[in-house]
Amino acid sequence: MKLVIGNKNYSSWSLRAWLFLSWHELEFEEIRVPLYQPGSREQLLGFSAAGQVPVLLDEDLLVWDSLAICEYVSEQYLDNRGWPRSRAMRAEARSVSAEMHAGFHAIRNRLPMNARASGRHVGLDQELQAEIQRLQSLWQDLRSRHGSLGPWLFGKFSIADCFYAPMAFRFPAYGVTLTGAAADYLSLLREQPLMQNWLEAARQEQEVITFAETGIDSQPQS
Amino acid sequence: MKLVIGNKNYSSWSLRAWLFLSWHELEFEEIRVPLYQPGSREQLLGFSAAGQVPVLLDEDLLVWDSLAICEYVSEQYLDNRGWPRSRAMRAEARSVSAEMHAGFHAIRNRLPMNARASGRHVGLDQELQAEIQRLQSLWQDLRSRHGSLGPWLFGKFSIADCFYAPMAFRFPAYGVTLTGAAADYLSLLREQPLMQNWLEAARQEQEVITFAETGIDSQPQS
């Protein structure tokens, strides 16, 4: 398999798919296309007409969205271990992942991922505060109900954890703090060797993208 | 099952889940919560902490996103007939659905669904034109490759068709025209008895929502 990703420093959607494949130790080649550089749009369109990252190439098969990639890989290579085994938990994990996939617009637009950044300050308006509060209570609730099964949102590591993983870079960069089980979960995400590996690679990248000009976190990723 | 939906005139995400359940003749009770009315936010939060429509209640199980609802119902009640049987087509159908679920922001924000409207005029800026062109070429390509299997995006009716169904109300309302196979597909969607049934119900609704104030099409639905 080949996984086309954007800049590791900026591309939160790339991280989601990359983390899922990497966690399960599936072999894949990384193809990095730095976003918003001259020619990068044309390069992305060469992989997929949607022009977004991430894109998975598996022989002649093309999958061009983070959630579709995780569903495909879970089904094809993991006997569906990407999701919880229990019917009820699987439905909940898909809801939680889809909520991130289509939502949290304020966090995605106003706290764009910049993995290597720290000490950033952004005014937390009402919409942003409401979304952060939703995350705080969602994580706390999931950890409280499924904690006996393991340390992840649904006990065992699942696609839902991949979907929230970029928060482990975003919140510390912008000084957003959570409390209790939600704070513990954020730390757990951040300290994973795979997340540290991604962060180290982000630090090595040279490109600098100005968010205001690009709206990078909502386009061209999904 | 109970399906919590918003106004039929405005709630495109409700339509997606409703169409999928209705197409497969699954029994469910409709619970309509008109959006942006006094008390409606509280009412939605009573169903799901995400505060969005649609929400599916299946005994003690809660599924709160359109895509998660379709995945759940397909798995639980349809032996996965919501998606194409072929591995490659299923991966493609999930990509296409996820692209809609997380994307097409210009269409969703600037051509909000208003099922009963007609003769609306909106300036088509570059971003909007690019998204309409993407839909035109995506539908045309899918119809050309899978047309021998049936008239839908992947031959047989699938979740992907539900995800694009609201375009059949949007495009005519704003005078957006497609060509060739994409135009035929739009007509096919619109003339479905279920779509006409939804439209008739939308025409009976009394609430009027001003889009500019609410950004209704991106919030609080997903």
Model pLDDT for residues A40-77, shown as the tens digit of each residue: 999 999 999 999 999 999 999 999 999 999 999 999 99
The closest alpha carbon to B98, from A56, A191, A147, A79, belongs to: A56
Q: Quick one: pLDDT at residue A28?
A: 98
Instruction: Kindly determine whether residue B52 and residue A103, on different chains, have CB atoms separated by under 8 Å.
Output: yes
Average pLDDT, chain A: 94
Give SS3 for B84: coil
Q: Are β-strands B2-5 and B29-32 bridged in parallel, bridged antiparallel, or unpaired?
A: parallel
d(CA B222, CA B215): 13
pLDDT in tens, chain B (222 residues): 999 999 999 999 999 999 999 999 999 999 999 998 999 999 999 999 999 999 999 999 999 999 999 999 999 999 999 999 999 999 999 999 999 999 999 999 999 999 999 999 889 999 999 999 999 999 999 999 999 999 999 999 999 999 999 999 999 999 999 999 999 999 999 999 999 999 999 999 999 988 654 444 434 454
Q: Determine, for residues B222 and A98 on separate chains, whether the beta-carbon distance falls below 8 Å.
A: yes
Q: Which domains does chain B have, with CATH numbers?
A: 2-81+210-214 (3.40.30.10), 87-197 (1.20.1050.10)
What band does A219 get if pLDDT is binned at 50, 70 and 90? very low
Query: Which of A67-81, A116-130, A138-152 is the least confident region?
Result: A116-130
CA distance A16 to B10: 32
**Range list of H helices, A6-58:** 12-23, 40-47
Residues of A in contact with B87 (CB under 8 A): 61, 75-76
Residue B185 structure tokens: 């597909």
In this prediction, residue B210 carries a pLDDT of 80
pLDDT at res. A121: 87
Kindly state the average pLDDT of the residues A6-22: 98
From the list B91, B99, B222, the residue facing A103 with the nearest CB is B222
Prediction pTM value:
0.95
A/B interface, count of CB pairs below 8 Å: 109
Chain B residue with minimal CA distance to A76?
B87
Cite the beta strand spans of chain B per DSSP E. 2-5, 29-32, 55-58, 61-63
What are the residues whose beta carbons fall under 8 Å from the beta carbon of A187, sequence distance 6 or more? none
Mean pLDDT of A180-198: 98
Q: Which residue has the higher pLDDT, A212 or A207?
A: A207
Longest dimension (CA), chain B: 50
Exposure string of B123-157, with b = 16+ CB inside 10 Å and e = fewer, is ebeeebeebbebbbebbbebbeebeeeeebbbbbb
Please tell me the distance from the alpha carbon of residue B26 to that of residue B7, in angstroms, as a whole number. 21
Q: What is the DSSP string of A179-210?
A: -HHHHHHHHHHHHSHHHHHHHHHHHH------
A71, A101, A137: residue with CB nearest B49: A137
pLDDT band, very low/low/confident/very high, at A210 (cuts 50, 70, 90): confident
Q: Which residues of A touch B (CB under 8 A)?
A: 49-50, 52, 60-68, 71-72, 75-76, 87-88, 90-92, 94-95, 97-99, 101-103, 105, 134, 137-138, 141, 218-219, 222
* Cβ–Cβ < 8 Å for B220, B51: yes
